[in-house]
Structure 1
C-alpha cells in the first residue's frame, strides 16, 4: 500500500484507536461543553434586556410559580456555565453582567412585583384579543392549535409584555428628562437670583465705601454755592 521509503498512511480509525473510550468521551464532552457555553452567551445577549425572567431563562408566564430558590438556583447554574474564568468569549463578561443584573432585579420584591403585574396585563390583553376572560387557563381549547395559530399563547404574551415594558420605559425616561429640564430651570433661576443678590450687595458696599467722598463733595458744592450768592464785594 505504500511506496518504498514512505511511512504507511494512517487511517482515521487508527487515530481513534489511540484513545480509549473514556478519553474520547472526555474530548467530545469538552467540545460539547464549549459549544453549549458559547450558545448560552449568545442566548443571554439576544434576550430582551428589560425582562430579567427572559435573561435567566425562567418561565415568565403568569401561570408559572417561580420561587426565590428557583431564581438563585437558575442564576448559579447559568453563571457557572458562562463565568469568564471558565469561558473566554469576546462578550462573555457582558453576558455574565446581564445575568447578575437580572438576578438582582428579581431579588428586589418591588421590581419583581411590578414585572409580574406587567406580565399578567400582557396575558389579559392577549386573551381579550381572542375573546377569552383573564382567568382562562393556558390550555383552553381556543388557545390550542389550530384555533390558536402561530405564534402560540406564550409567544404572543411575550411580545405583548415587551410592548408594554418598552412603553413604560419610554414614559419613565421622558418623565426623567422633563424632571431634569425642570430641575435645570429651577437651578438656573436660583443661580440668577444669587447673582443678583450678590450684585446688589456689592453695589451697596461700594456705595458705603464712597459715602465720605460724596459728603465731602456735597459740602464743597454748598460752600461754593453760598459764596456765589453773596455777589462781588463793593469797595468804599
Structure 2
C-alpha cells in the first residue's frame, strides 16, 4: 500500500473517532445536535440522508473506538425520534411530543439569548444556542432524578408503613389468639380463688374461753 493510501485511511480513522467523540459530547436527548440539523429549518428531508452518512462513518463494525456502539445507539435513537410521525400509536405519540418539546426548548433559548438560529449549523450563534440547550436538558435530567429519588423514597416509606401495619395486625391477632387460648386457664384460676375464699368464710371460728 502506497503512502497516499495509508494517509487516506488514517484520515478516515481520525474522522470516525472525531465524529464519535462529537456525538458522545452532545447531550443524549439533543437529537438535532446529534444529527447536526437546525430544528427551525425544514429538516425532514435531511434526517434519513444524514443518518445514513453518519451511520456508515461510525458503524461499530468499522471502528476501533471503544465507545462506538454507544455513539451509534445515540445516532439511531436521534433518527428514530426525529423521523417519527403521529400515527396514533402510543409510543409514536411520545416520540412526537419529545421532538416538539425539544423544538420548543430551541425556540425559548433563541428568544432568551435574543438571537436567531441561522441555516449554517456551525455558525457561532447556533453554537451558543446549542450550548444553552445542553444546559437546559441537563437541568431537566437533574430535576427528573430528584423526582425519581423522591418518589422512590415515598414508595419505600409507604411500603414500610404497610409493613409495620401488617406486623401490628399480626401481633394483635396473635395476642387475641393467645388471650382466647388462655381463657379456660383464667376461668379455672378464678374458680380456684373463689373456692378458697368460700372455704375461709365457712371455716368455724375457735371459741375463746372467758
Shorter-chain TM-score tier: 0.7 to 0.9
CA shift for structure 1 position 137 = 8.1
Q: What do residues 99-124 of structure 1 show as CA deviations (whole Å, max 9, x unaligned)?
A: 23333443411111111111111111
- Secondary structure (helix, strand or coil) at the match of 2:65 reads coil
- Secondary structure (helix, strand or coil) at the match of 2:113 reads helix
Which structure 1 residue ranges, 5 or more long, are not aligned? 1-18, 131-135, 140-150
**Counterpart of 1:115?**
102
Q: What do residues 155-212 of structure 1 show as CA deviations (whole Å, max 9, x unaligned)?
A: 2222322232222222222222222222222222222111111111111111112222
**Counterpart of 1:59?**
38
Match of 1:103 among 73, 79, 84: 79
Q: Radius of gyration: which is bigger?
A: 1
CA shift for structure 1 position 233 = 6.9
Higher relative contact order (CA 8 A, sep 6+): 2
Whether 1:172 and 2:144 are equivalent positions in the alignment is yes
1:212 & 1:163 partners in 2: Cα distance?
75
**Counterpart of 2:180?**
208
Match of 2:54 among 57, 78, 89: 78
Q: Within 5 Å, which residues of 2 pair with 1:1-236?
A: 27=6, 29-60=8-39, 63-67=40-44, 70-106=46-82, 107=84, 108-127=95-114, 138=118, 152-232=124-204
For normalisation by structure 1, the TM-score amounts to 0.70
Which structure 2 residue ranges, 5 or more long, are not aligned? 85-94
